Structure formats: C-alpha cells, structure tokens
A and B are shown apart, each in its own frame.
Chain A
C-alpha cells in the first residue's frame, strides 16, 4: 500500500507529479547550497578579482592556489583533527548524559521533573561571553588549559539543554506499552531504555547528535580563550587567524571554510538516512 504513488506519503498529496517535486527539490537545494557555492567559487579566485565591477560569479581563471596557501599559512589539518576529536567526544558524552536525564524526566514519576527540565534549559539562557572568565579560571585551576578536555566538558554542558529537550520530546512520543512489554519479559528499566526506547527514538537521537556536533564544531569564544596554543586550536579559531589587522583575504578564508565544511557534509550525508530512516516503521505499526 505504501509503495503505491510517492505522492500519498505523509499527507503531502499537494505535490503530486514529478514536476512540482523537482521544483520543490530545486528550491531546497538552492537555499542550502547557494552560499556554499559562492564560497567555493571565491576560493578559486585571486583577491584582485573581488573588486572587479561588475562582479564575477564564476572565477575567470580558477586555481587551487588558495587551498595550498590555506594549508601552508597555518596547520589546517591539525585544526581539523582537533575539532573532530573535541566535537565527537563532546557529542557522545552529551548524548549519553542527556539520554539518561531525558529518560528520568520523560518516564519516571518524579515530582520535581518540571524544575529539573527548567534548570537544565535555563543554563543556556546566559550569554556565553559573560561566563568566559570564570570558566577559564575553572579550567586553569584544574590544569586543563590547552587540552581536549578543556573544550569537551563545556561543550557537553552547552549541548545538554538541546539534547535533553529533544530526547524528552521523543521519548514522550513512544508509547509506554513497548517498554512495559520488555520489562515483563525480564528487562530492567535501564535495559529497557537502551534496548527499546533509544532505538525507537533513533531519529531524535541522531538529530540531537547532529545538532550537538555542529554546535561543538562551530563554537568560537571558548575555543579562542581555552585552547589558544598553536597545536590545540580548533577550526573556527584557526580560520579567524587568516585575517590580519588590515587584511581580510576572502579567497584563502573561503578555501579554509570549504575544507572545514567537507567533513561536516560527509557526516551529514552519512547520517541523514538514520535521521529520517525507516527504523520506526516496525515498532509503531500497532
């Protein structure tokens, strides 16, 4: 039944016909790709081309010189590695901690759960710039400056509110009968969490994970203050160093941005199926 016509999916019969769907796809793709394409084109141009009037879109003489310079001016590869490690670790930690907390809030009959949720979310209501100095002092006191831990811990905390709230909402939408069934079969509550609830909430888990990863990857202020050493810098801080007091080399910065986007794009392309996958079909048929 579900394989009949694509148009009958999820109440979207409005877009029947491949023509309209192609336009729809075109709009979404344009919206998402245009700035990235502009940056790509810029990365292939020399700086002098940027003041030409009228402006040029496609580079007049495309060249990879900017990419070479991006890697020789700074250890961009090292920055990518640092960002990857910090973002991955903080995302995994975030997901783990928030899954536990979200389960407690969504499933357990605790009197204070509203207050708990509010507290967790409220921690994101302060502008980070005002919390910088005390966080710096804490990390310095713990001897953690210029280490991966210095960033992993704050990033986990920064992502806790989003991950927790997303998971709470997804856990709530899963009917309790499934866990009860599992527990009758001899599972403990925690076992039910990891074996039943999390897999069923997979779209939510991967969504929260993607959001946390991107947030950690793009964070600037903390990375600037805590990990200033040349070997420990992350990508956003590194990219900000291509400019000078009087210079802003868009072509080289664009090249660095493209290089930084590629791993994220690969990650997203790899996981987007999981976010939108058919994992839910089985469990919710009833």
Chain B
C-alpha cells in the first residue's frame, strides 16, 4: 500500500480503537429520581430526562414514584432515608422541606458542584436564596415555582362595575354586593382552605403578612406579633359571619376550592398556580374565559403578600453517584429546563427573565400577571423542625376556623407550642 493509504488506515484504526475504548470505559450510570405524584408532572420530567439521556449517553434515568402527596412522600422517605438507603439519587421535594431534610442529614450539599450559596442561587427568584440555603450550604435547586393567587370572576366584577379590590375590606364588600345581587344561594364570596392541611399554614400567614408582619427572623427565631395574628384570623371569621366565606370553611381542602370555583360557585378563590389551567381548559369548567388573577389584597395599611410554593431538586446524601446526580440537578434547574416546563406544562418559572420570554407568554399569557405575584412571594418558616411547626400552625388555624377556639386562645396556644420548637 502507499504511505498515504497506510497512514489513513492507521489513523482510522487508531480512532476506532480510541472510541471503542472510550465506550467501554464510559460505564452506564443509572440514576434514580424520586419525583412526586400527578401534580409534579412526571410525564414532563420524563421528557426532560430523555433529552438529558440523549445528550449524555452514559447516563440512564429512572423515575420512581413513592407517594402522590407530600404526606405520603414524607411517609415513604422517612422510612427509606432513616434506613440510609442508597437506592435513590435525586429527590423532588416541596419548598418547605430542604431545611428539615438537610438538617436530618439526608441531603448532599451542592456547593462543590454548583458553587457557593451566594452565587449559585443569585440567578433565581429571590425567595430561593433563603428557602434552599441551609446552614450557608446549597441544599436544593428549584424545579418549578408556585404561589397562592387570588382568582376571581372577571365577568361578575365587570357586570357590577367593581374594580379589583386592593384590601381585604374592599374584597369583602365587593363579594357581599355580588352575592346579594346575584341571588344564588350557592354562590360563595371567597373560597379559602381551612382544613388542617399544609395550605392552612398559608391561610394563617396571608392576613398576618398582609399587615407587614414577619413570622421569624433570619436566624429562625419566632417573632410572632400576637395581636396581629389575632386580627388576621379575625378577618377570616368576620367574613364567615358576613356570609362571604362559608361556615364549614374548616372542611375545605384545595381540590374543593378548585371544583367549586370551576362550577361557578365562588366569586373569589385563593389557590395555587395549577388551578388556572383547570379553570381554563377542563371540559366541565363553567368559568372558561371568565377568570382573572390578581395579587392578594393587603390588610388596611399593610401590603400585599402571598405564599410561595413549588418544588425543588435535591441530591441524596446516600447516593452512590453524587457527581452525576448533581450535574443532572444543575441541568434540571437551568433556565432552559424552566422554560421547557413553562411552555409544555404551564409550570411557573424559577427565573425572572423566563416570565417575560416570548414563547412562554404565547403559551401562558397569564404569566405576566403571575410574575409580580411570585416575585413578591414569601416563604413559610424555614425551620429544621418544619414538620412540627407546620403541624402546630395548621391544626390551631383549622380549630379557630371551626370555632372550637377563639382567635386569642388559638394564637396563645400556637405561640406557646412554637416557642418550644423555634428557639
């Protein structure tokens, strides 16, 4: 053979040998991701994973579902993580969980993979700089955001010539006026959640924050303003007495509010972001095209405040593939992934700039209104003992709304119990 042909053949052979060696040296890593139930859109996550797998041939990703609700997931995880199981590499956890899970030693700090907390969380919405940072370390990265919105019947407000209420008193008056004129016995003024579920923590905090008060300081110590809390809860009870909120509000859970508003049985409703699509798209929705969304009203002399929700990605402290898992998590929390989830599933973005992205706005025009709400949102108490904190707040709030305790009694009890936990 000629010299050229030999060299070409030689080069090709060498290239082939190198690529073969490359493939065999690149072991298949299987990452197992624990994502939530239906509402965390495992179908969309699967698409993200498929894209990642295509771009990273050495990785396969399996999804595991261990429980459809936060409760059941905590049940499952507390068993598996207490046993220090290494079977799962990545968890999708609620925004309230990083503090508790990191404190329990279940989450791997991501600083070595994504940089120190101050820089790693800067690109995201401000709330994550506190929610996902525990003991100065990065405990989790955001998957998608959520917040409590005030949904309302645009058509009814327009019909009665009422503007968007800016305070709770205005809202109460508007609701009463509409209820009186419409004459529908089943029409509620405002639907909120009073059952002892996680959402009840927000029910407690919304009118409290609405007065401009803070629940805890940066170090996690309790700074409860008792009269303000009593006043806040009293606002809800006042609306029950006025017939704006129904009497059995302590039985109302998140799906109940959605189903009732969807059936046209409420003028105003407080609920999470997923409800928008249900009102707009569901086949049996009576309120298609009639729904508006606005920031939560403030208390007189206070400011508007809402509860932030959403889910986070975290790496298990017991994972055998921490580096690969962290890399995947970083990708899942990137602006591209956030935009994908926003466009495909109307999941609220975790970056301010994605809210105003052209593609996103075409798919979900309401994100423009949503942005202001989410950016100004506050996080629930960040505590290593959040499980207990949440239990205390939601149980007493529900008892107050069920009128088995007066607001003063209830707030006293809440403060007493919380003092022992949030020292």
Contacts and interface: CB of A to CB of B under 8 A. Distances in A.
A137 B81 CA distance: 11
Interface in B62-103: 64-70, 72, 75-76, 79-80, 82-83, 85, 87
B396 to A, nearest CB: 23
A137 B256 CA distance: 39
A178 to B, nearest CB: 48
A243 interface: yes
B72 A244 contact: no
A132 B269 CA distance: 40
Contact of B284 (A47, A228, A248): A47
A240 B65 CA distance: 11
B38 A140 contact: no
B94 to A, nearest CB: 8
A50 B68 CA distance: 22
B201 interface: no
B214 to A, nearest CB: 27
Interface in B257-281: 258-260, 262-263, 265, 272, 274-275
B186 interface: yes
Contacts of A244: 37-40, 68-69
A231 B259 CA distance: 33
B238 interface: no
A contacts with B: majority SS: loop
Contacts of B265: 51
Interface residues of B, number: 36
A229 B70 contact: no
Contacts of A247: 38-39, 255, 258
B259 A47 contact: yes
Contacts of A206: none
B254 interface: yes
A106 B253 CA distance: 52
Interface residues of A, number: 28
Nearest to B36: A245
Nearest to B282: A48
A126 interface: no
Given A240-B68, A243-B68, A228 B39 contact: no
Contacts of B87: 145
A243 B38 CA distance: 7
Contacts of A229: 64
A101 B45 CA distance: 52
Contacts of B186: 53
Interface of B: 36-40, 64-70, 72, 75-76, 79-80, 82-83, 85, 87, 186, 253-256, 258-260, 262-263, 265, 272, 274-275, 284
Interface of A: 46-48, 50-53, 132-133, 136-137, 140, 145, 221, 224-225, 228-230, 240-248
18 contacts: A48-B259, A48-B263, A51-B259, A53-B186, A132-B79, A140-B85, A145-B87, A224-B76, A225-B75, A230-B64, A240-B67, A241-B65, A242-B38, A243-B38, A245-B40, A245-B68, A247-B258, A248-B253
